[in-house]
Structure 1
Amino acid sequence: MIASIKNNCLVDFEHELSLILNTYSNEVEKAKKIIIFIEDILKQLTDWLKNHVFETTQEEIKFFKEIKSNIVAKLIFYKEILSLVATLPLARNKRVKHFEKKLYAINQFHRKNREFIKYIKTHSTHFDELYFTRKKYKDLFLNDCSVIIHDAKLCTSYDYLLAEVIAFELLALHIENRIDNLNESCAISTNKFNSNLHWTAKKVDLIELIYALHEAKVFDNGEADIKEITHVFEKAFQIELEDKVYGSFGDIKKRKTNQTRFLSHLQKVLETKIENDYK
């Protein structure tokens, strides 16, 4: 990785990142693994920067403006994703508000930094030496005071701000997609569900099945909650369960023998069907 950084190349970093993205399907696990991976890369960068001397000012600018900022941006992005998922409300209607609140914060960030963002978006370069090099003297009025808490050998006055700009742009797109998906899902769920099927077994049996499917993470890569799954089954099988879901699961846990009674029955009847079909 560091060899690639020396050559001002992000290919290895992006390749390793894509491997993690393709390995994990659960959003939380994916974000955790990526955060650990990037933090390790940044530790390597720290050691390298302490002793490295850039041959030219342009080489230093390129590193802090194009390479380090993009790596840090991914770290910020996945930490934000982890935070969003960890604080996601259970109720579907509150989830949209949860995402919209973050979008509002991103818009506030954009308003506060609009001149710098304009500088980046227009591919301007006239302040690059000020923003993306580690010169000992800089205009103290232009410097962001947050630079004080960082080691001047490892960062410039604006490379972290650029990383935030990149990260929040990615985050805004991600959130907008999440909101669109939630709105589409809500629109589908409010349409009349045409089904002639009725659940004729015990309600507790269906609740046992719902919990099993939830724990198996078969819906939305494990992101769907019990209430969402229950609502779909209620619509599909014309049955009311919501008031009984949590209480009935408590009863299931209290069973002294064969706690997964209904699932065991399903397994038995299916195995019998398979055996009979082979005869």
Structure 2
Amino acid sequence: MEIVLSKILSQIRRQKDKLTSQMMRPAEEAYQMTLFLNEMLGALKSQVTQDGFKNEQQEIDFFKNIKSQIMGKLIFYNKVFRIETTCPVNNGTLHQNYYENQFKALQAEYMECICDGDFYRYYRAGRTDRDHLYFRLGQINYHDGLKSAVFEIDLSFSTYYDNKIARIVANELLYTYLLNKVNPEENPDMVLVGGKTNKDISWTNSQNALIELIYALYASSSVSHGNIGIRQLALIFQVLFRTPLNDIHHAFHRMKTRSGSRTAFLDQLKISLEEYMDKDL
């Protein structure tokens, strides 16, 4: 049995990009990713149960580096789904307080359950000397006084410590997610122009025109070499121009079937630019 982490992560990224391009609500996207990852984990469990491992190193690599990454992302998306479906409002002080409280709860959980322990230091130090004890089936040492979660896991598909790494992975992903909710300007992946610099900037054409422009930039990979999702790109323009874009995915599909030119705004841009160039002749 050979399971390659890079291939697994590539499959997860493709699924994420596919869902992002459909402009789903965060809760729906998180739900769909939860289903996808749960199915992936189930398929791997069947494969492991049927084929086993060729050697000790393959077993260690699977539980330390592969299963823990999938499980970590699964836990993360499930938490995002729960957070987004219990958020009381869409904006305002109550909305902000909700995410701040979620962020504080995450920090408390991290301090209490994750970072204060020998295993966390072992994992963070990149050590491998105890991998044969931590990441092989049937090696659990109950004299270590493990948390009761050890009795709730499937010991035919977990070494207990792979679950601990998964929790670390999930919490780090959730930390970034909630940090962006509480302080969007601290997220280096977001290009947010805030404060006084964009207070007088506004989009004065139609929403459809802006959506057409956004999709053209996305389709041509003109921003960040195409390494940016359509939803994130749309969010940048919404923040820059302080204009909401509702249901961008369906608006785009209406453009695909509208009569006349499907790229009316881009056509007009070309005409306007050529007329402007002619003025200087």
TM-score tier, shorter chain, comes to 0.5 to 0.7
Counterpart of 2:108 in structure 1 is 108
Whether 1:160 aligns to 2:159 is no
* Cα distance in 2, alignment partners of residues 14 and 7 from structure 1: 15
Counterpart of 1:79 in structure 2 is 78
* Cα distance in 2, alignment partners of residues 163 and 94 from structure 1: 31
Counterpart of 1:41 in structure 2 is 40
* Cα distance in 2, alignment partners of residues 177 and 110 from structure 1: 18
Higher relative contact order (CA 8 A, sep 6+): 2
After TM superposition, the structure 1 stretch with the greater mean CA deviation from structure 2, 138-147 or 153-162, is 138-147
Larger radius of gyration: 1
Code of the aligned partner of 1:92:
G
Counterpart of 2:153 in structure 1 is 150
* Cα distance in 2, alignment partners of residues 165 and 132 from structure 1: 16
* Cα distance in 2, alignment partners of residues 173 and 31 from structure 1: 15
* Cα distance in 2, alignment partners of residues 136 and 128 from structure 1: 10
The answer (yes or no) to whether the contact 1:20–1:33 under 8 Å persists in 2 is no
Moved over 6 A (4+): 189-192
* Cα distance in 2, alignment partners of residues 130 and 37 from structure 1: 31
Q: How many pairs are equivalent?
A: 219
> Judging changes above 3 Å, is the alpha-carbon distance between structure 1 residues 45 and 181 closer, same or farther for their aligned structure 2 residues?
same
After TM superposition, the structure 1 stretch with the greater mean CA deviation from structure 2, 6-15 or 164-173, is 6-15
Whether 1:21 aligns to 2:16 is yes
Consecutive unaligned residues of structure 1, counting only runs of 5 or more, are 1-5, 196-209, 211-217, 222-231, 234-279
Counterpart of 2:59 in structure 1 is 60
TM norm structure 2: 0.61
> Judging changes above 3 Å, is the alpha-carbon distance between structure 1 residues 145 and 194 closer, same or farther for their aligned structure 2 residues?
closer
Whether 1:9 aligns to 2:9 is no
The answer (yes or no) to whether the contact 1:24–1:30 under 8 Å persists in 2 is yes
- 1:24 match: secondary structure: helix
* Cα distance in 1, alignment partners of residues 15 and 198 from structure 2: 40
Code of the aligned partner of 1:14:
L
Code of the aligned partner of 1:127:
R
TM norm structure 1: 0.61
Consecutive unaligned residues of structure 2, counting only runs of 5 or more, are 202-206, 208-213, 215-229, 232-241, 244-281
* Cα distance in 2, alignment partners of residues 111 and 180 from structure 1: 21
